[in-house]
Amino acid sequence: MVDWRLFDPLIEYARKRSMWIVAFCTGCGGIEMPPLATARYDFERFGMMPNPAPRMADLFLITGYVTPKTLKRIIITYEMQPDPKYVLAHGSCPLNGGVYWDAYNAIKHLDKYIPVDVAIAGCMPRPEAVMDGIQKMMELIETGKADGWKRYRENYEYYKKNQDELFGEGWRERTARMWIPWLMKGNNRGEE
Ligand code: SF4
């Protein structure tokens, strides 16, 4: 009888060294992605790469301020990712609203709606700070402490309550009803 837990360190090592990133940027921090991906910081040396399909991505970088409209896409995209999945938030805006702390249309605490595993303060954090956050994420994955995906499952009622308070109950169905005709007709003016 093989105890498969013996392979856990190897699996965690492989996970931390093959993080695929959801290709989805919010706010000003999206502009930090080109230097991270290209020759100067070259995150590919850590096995990282952007992937357009959330169903094949491990890491979700929230790269700046989040509006309620964007938050809907973020939640739906996050839920499409397979477990285990990890969230790294850049900059002050997703943590506490940042310079938009009193704006009616910016989310003040992203972690009320989806769990955040690593947060990088600053406005805007430099690529070195983002690399530091990525290293921290790798350390948490290797030690099994990047457990936001488990918290989302275990505390789903808490997250759902906050999501419903912001968007109203049944928001997923309403959004899907708006998106489906938009996709069917190829109408790029569909809004929600
Ligand atoms: S923290 Fe600063 S740089 Fe980042 S999204 Fe907010 S305003 Fe932009």
Alpha helices in the chain (DSSP H): 8-16, 33-37, 68-80, 92-96, 127-142, 148-154, 156-167, 171-185
pTM: 0.89
For the chain, domain boundaries: 4-154
pLDDT of residue 5: 79
- pLDDT tens for residues 11-60? 888 999 999 999 888 889 888 889 999 999 999 999 999 988 999 999 99
Q: What is the dihedral of CA 169, 174, 175, 180, to 10 degrees?
A: 160
Q: Atom 2 of ligand 1 has which residue's CA nearest to it?
A: 123
Q: Atom 3 of ligand 1 has which residue's CA nearest to it?
A: 124
Cβ neighbors of 187 (< 8 A, separation 6 or more) are 181
pLDDT of residue 109: 94
CATH number of 4-154: 3.40.50.12280
Q: Is the CB of 50 under 6 A from ligand 1?
A: no
Q: Is the CB of 124 under 6 A from ligand 1?
A: yes
